[in-house]
Amino acid sequence: MSRLLFSSTVLIALALAGCQTTPPVPDATQETSARERIGAGDYAAAGAEYERLATEKRALRDHYRLLAAEAWREEAEFDDVARLLGEIKRKKLDAEQNLRYDLLEAELALSRKQPARASGLLAVDDKRIPAAVRERWLELQARAFQAEGRYLDATRTRLRLIALLRPDERREAQRELLDLIAATEPARLHADLAPLAADDVLRPWLERALRASGEAPARAAIAPADAVGTMVAAANGELQREGFVALGKLAVLLPTSGEYAAAGKAILDGVLAAHYHAPAATAVQVYDAGGTRRSALEAYRQALHDGVDAVLGPVERDQVDAILEASDGRVPMLALNHPEAKTIAVEDSFRFGLVPEDEAAFAAERMIAEGARRIAVFGTNEDWSERALAAFDSQLRALGGEISGRRLLRDSDVDFTDAINALVGAPGSAPDGRRADGVFIAVRSSTARLLVPQLRVSAAGDLPLLATSHVFGNTVQATLDKDLDGLVFLDAPWTHGGVVGLPARDALAADLGSAANSPRLFAFGLDAYQLLPYLAHLRAQPGRYLDGASGLLIADRFGRVRRLPQMYRFVQGTPQPASALRLVVEPAP
């Protein structure tokens, strides 16, 4: 039976506590038979025995009736509970017994579908609740709130309850909680999520419930404030990097064989390049995560057996799910992907992913910041593009914007005139007659080279255009990309040169093919290693950031690392850093 249902051990504690009343004092030996029956799980017999004692010991009858009512409650015999409560004289009970009486009354009200009455009875100052009945009090409160339709209050209460459970009991309780939240209509979840602060304990639960329903939640704003790693004086007078905590032996779990070996090698090259450039760990041991859940778990268990001090990886989502659920939290871990919505991760883990949702959410924030609120979107039916469009839509709506229309383009499409006219407006349309005041693009470079010139000659010619990193290949192709001139896109800064404190891409590309051919994955590996010594500091102080190879990296209090990419604009086919969506041309002197 779940601890979210009330255990018999609580009743035993209550029985003992109930003996401490004002004179006359109960004789503990007379209650032996009832206690033995409680210990054996025979609550009906215990209830009958307490009722017998109430009849025989008239001076203690209210004491024994309360114990009998609590025993009958364990059998869900609420008619007997109500009968006994009606016979008790409350003025004969002490403060703790009166609290236990109210708990029974509240549960009785819930059984009669009177949640408002139950909530009133349970509205007790937290400081008055003894440890012996705290779990039961919180459980009843949560049930009352849920029955009243106050699922946010119920969720907060259940989270307090879960914190009291043993670690081996928490995950099942968390799964039950997620199922309860996911039963709420997505529209209400979106509405309730919007006002929550980034550090609100409810936020990750509502976000996960939305993802479990196939919805993309909007993220809370976390503005970058100060960079980590600033040199400061330690207590001994020596200079040290603020927030930096050196690592011992680091285990890297990445696929070095199988289907994902190429991606694993690119990330691993980035990890090792960062390690040799500026060591944060005393040693790095690589374990082949393979391509299955089983192979990843075997690698993880071997790493723990070898006595590693931290774990980095894996990267494949199914493997991330497996290891997050297997971890007990004793060894810190940075997973290189975000888990599925229903995966219950260990509380002290961190998650960092190179996911399209980060770019899309940031794109929506940039559009709103620059005054574009009605956005036309173009994508494809590829999974990454559909995920990006969903995240963009959700973030845009949360910030007060809207999508004016969307089109999924095919590789075989060449003429986009009808789609552009439908989403933005026909050529020559007056600005106030347009359907959109901005365009978001989530397509690959080959399609973008056809789409952008047609946007330029249409009614969208002077609108801000913003795209994901997929419009740029791994290297500069100025002749081909001149068709993209003026388009702003989001990308990892290391892809376009150097980042302060890291080896430049060109220098590494001469010796490492992955730096030349898979720069974003390589940058991901650089950042994963860089993040490790700062993770606890970043989580404790949201807004502090690491200036990384893939963008500014910020962690929330729940261990999720967010990536803020850099903006670039195509100029003569070559990406140049951009600070705004619209190209500002200064007037001639």
Q: Where are the beta strands (DSSP E) in 277-342?
A: 281-288, 310-312, 333-335
Q: Do 60 and 37 fall into the same domain?
A: yes
> 392 lies in a domain?
yes
Q: Rounded to an integer, what distance in angstroms lies between the CA atom of residue 119 and that of residue 242?
A: 47
* Nearest Cα residue to 446 out of 480, 416, 475, 479: 480
Burial class (CB in 10 A: 0-12, 13-18, 19+), 551: buried
- Say how far apart CA 471 and CA 420 lie, in whole Å: 18
Helix (H) or strand (E) holding 571: strand 566-571
**By the 8 A CB rule, do 523 and 336 touch?**
no
The bridge status of strand 561-564 relative to strand 552-555 is antiparallel
* Same domain flag for 362 and 464: yes
Closest C-alpha to 443, from 518, 378, 375: 378
Same domain for 295 and 346, yes or no, is yes
Q: Please tell me whether residues 253 and 329 are part of one structural domain.
A: yes
188: its two tokens: 């209400």
- Specify whether 341 is located in the same domain as 371: no
Buried b (16+ CB within 10 A) or exposed e, 247-281: beebbbbbbeeeebbebbbbbbbbbbbbbeeeebb
Regarding whether 395 and 504 lie in a shared domain, the answer is no
261 domain residue, yes or no: yes
Q: 231-233 and 239-241: which strand pairing?
A: antiparallel
Do 488 and 548 lie in one domain? The reply is no
Supply the CATH number for residue 397's domain: 3.40.50.2300
Residues 405 and 526 reside in one and the same domain: no
When divided into structural domains, the chain yields a total of 3
Helix residue spans in 465-504 (DSSP H): 478-481
Domain termination site, one of 149, 182, 215: 149
Secondary structure string (H, E, C) spanning 375-390: EEEEECCCHHHHHHHH
pLDDT for the residue 231: 81
Q: Are residues 501 and 526 in the same domain?
A: yes
What pLDDT does 315 receive? 97
Cβ neighbors of 31 (< 8 A, separation 6 or more) are 15, 19, 50, 53, 67
**Spatial CA neighbour of 315 closest among 521, 557, 531, 550:** 521
Q: Is residue 583 part of a domain?
A: no
Structure tokens at 474: 């791994």
435 lies in the same domain as 529: no
Cβ atoms of 151 and 178 within 8 Å: the answer is no
The CATH number covering residue 91 comes to 1.25.40.10
Q: Which two tokens stand for residue 550?
A: 């893939």
State the pLDDT at residue 433.
Answer: 76
Q: What is the CA radius of gyration of the chain?
A: 31
Residue 573 falls inside a structural domain: yes
Is residue 156 included in any domain, yes or no? no
Q: Which residue has the tokens 């026909």?
A: 426
Determine contact, residues 486/569, Cβ cutoff 8 Å.
Answer: yes
What pLDDT is recorded for position 23? 52
Containing H/E element for 351? Answer: strand 350-351
Helix residue spans in 88-166 (DSSP H): 95-111, 115-122, 131-147, 151-164
pLDDT for res 247:
95
Residue carrying structure tokens 């056809």: 450
**Does 414 fall in a domain?**
yes
Domain extent at residue 551: 233-351+497-561
| Per-residue model confidence as pLDDT tens digits over 311-327 | 999 999 999 999 999 99
User: Among 117, 149, 181, which residue terminates a domain?
Assistant: 149
| Dihedrals phi, psi of 285, to nearest 5 degrees | -120, 125
Q: Which residue, of 114, 149, 184, is where some domain finishes?
A: 149
Whether residues 249 and 346 share a domain: the answer is: yes
Cα distance between residue 410 and residue 319, in whole Å = 32
Q: Give a yes or no: residue 203 inside a domain.
A: no
What is d(CA 131, CA 123) in angstroms, rounded to the nearest whole number?
17
Distance CA 452, CA 11 (A): 71
Residue 363 resides in a domain: yes
Given a contact cutoff of 8 angstroms between Cβ atoms, the answer to whether 297 and 305 are in contact is no
Task: Answer yes or no: do 263 and 297 share one domain.
Answer: yes
Q: In which residue ranges of the chain is pLDDT below 50?
A: 1-22, 585-589
What's the confidence (pLDDT) of residue 461?
A: 81
